């Protein structure tokens, strides 16, 4: 790998990764068939275009999750290349509104997100509690599988880190336009909660 002749692939890790993706998509499709929607966030930090593997991976997963019926969003944190690459994810593409572009450096953005977590968690929990009370009489029994991707109203979150986060101040925020969704880390309004894991046993 990049001239490292001692590199050894970890087949077990790759199997776990594939099993996790399969399990998540299966739950998304089953939940969609029950007229419910899984909320999912893909958080990508510091992935550039020199080796665009992570960028293409997250966009592909976004497309797959949307096709599975999920309310999925890709949050791309990059001070230089925050927009989508693929045609569908570019401004004007069919997934444009599912890509949140944050022009900032990784560590600064994570710190700001972390400072907003208590308020976001409280808001998500309050909203879920109100919905449960309103639908208590008609809500079907929630299965353990569905609960995995519906905890605290957050759903699934997949984090992708392509490089160590920089500690320098964030780059200036570019004003958003009609065709883009560039935002400051301080204006990200979606609750970003920790990733819920899906056991590999859920995959046949």
The predicted structure's pLDDT at residue 202: 39
Residue 51 confidence class, pLDDT cut points 50, 70, 90: confident
Q: Would you tell me how many other CB atoms lie within 10 Å of the CB of residue 63?
A: 18
The predicted structure's pLDDT at residue 157: 54
* Encoded tokens for 143: 């299965």
User: To which H or E segment does residue 77 belong?
Assistant: strand 71-77
Residues 152, 41: contact at Cβ < 8 Å?
no
Query: Which phi and psi (to 5°) does residue 149 adopt?
Result: -105, 10
pLDDT (average), residues 48-77? 94
The predicted structure's pLDDT at residue 190: 39
Per residue in 127-139, pLDDT (tens digit) is 776 665 655 555 5
Q: Where are the domains of the chain?
A: 36-202
Residue 44 confidence class, pLDDT cut points 50, 70, 90: very high
CA nearest 80: which of 52, 57, 101, 107? 101
Residue 92 confidence class, pLDDT cut points 50, 70, 90: very high
Higher pLDDT, 3 or 180: 3
Quote the mean pLDDT of the chain: 73
Per residue in 166-201, pLDDT (tens digit) is 444 444 444 334 333 344 343 333 333 333 433 334
- For the question of whether the overall pTM of this predicted structure is more than 0.75, the answer is no
The predicted structure's pLDDT at residue 130: 67
DSSP string across 144-196:
HHHHHTTGGGT-EEEEEE-SPPP-SPPPPPPPP-TT--EE-GGG--S---PPP
Residues 161, 105: contact at Cβ < 8 Å?
no
The predicted structure's pLDDT at residue 50: 84
Distance set, CA 11 to CA 17, 52, 182 (Å): 10, 22, 38
The span from the first CA to the last CA of the chain, in angstroms, equals 32
CA pair distance 5, 129, nearest whole angstrom: 54
pLDDT (average), residues 10-15? 90
Residue 1 confidence class, pLDDT cut points 50, 70, 90: low
* Encoded tokens for 69: 């019926």
- Residues whose CB falls within 8 Å of the CB of residue 49, separated by 6 or more in sequence, listed in order: 55, 81, 85
Higher pLDDT, 6 or 32: 32
């Amino acid at each position: 790998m990049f001239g490292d002749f001692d590199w050894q692939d970890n087949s077990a890790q790759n199997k776990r990764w594939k099993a996790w993706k399969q399990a998540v998509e299966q739950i998304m499709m089953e939940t969609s068939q029950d007229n419910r929607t899984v909320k999912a966030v893909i958080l990508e930090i510091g992935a550039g275009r020199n080796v665009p593997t992570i960028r293409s991976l997250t966009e592909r997963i976004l497309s797959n999750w949307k096709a599975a019926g999920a309310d999925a969003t890709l949050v791309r944190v990059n001070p230089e290349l925050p927009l989508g690459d693929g045609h569908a994810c570019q401004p004007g593409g069919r997934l444009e509104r599912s890509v949140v572009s944050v022009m900032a450096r990784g560590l600064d953005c994570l710190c700001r997100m972390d400072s907003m977590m208590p308020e976001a968690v409280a808001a998500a929990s309050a909203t879920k509690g109100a919905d449960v009370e309103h639908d208590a009489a008609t809500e079907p029994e929630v299965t353990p599988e569905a609960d995995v991707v519906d905890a605290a109203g957050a759903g699934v979150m997949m984090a992708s880190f392509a490089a160590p986060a920089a500690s320098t101040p964030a780059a200036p925020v570019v004003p958003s336009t009609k065709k883009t969704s560039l935002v400051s880390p301080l204006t990200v309004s979606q609750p970003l909660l920790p990733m819920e894991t899906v056991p590999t046993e859920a995959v046949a």
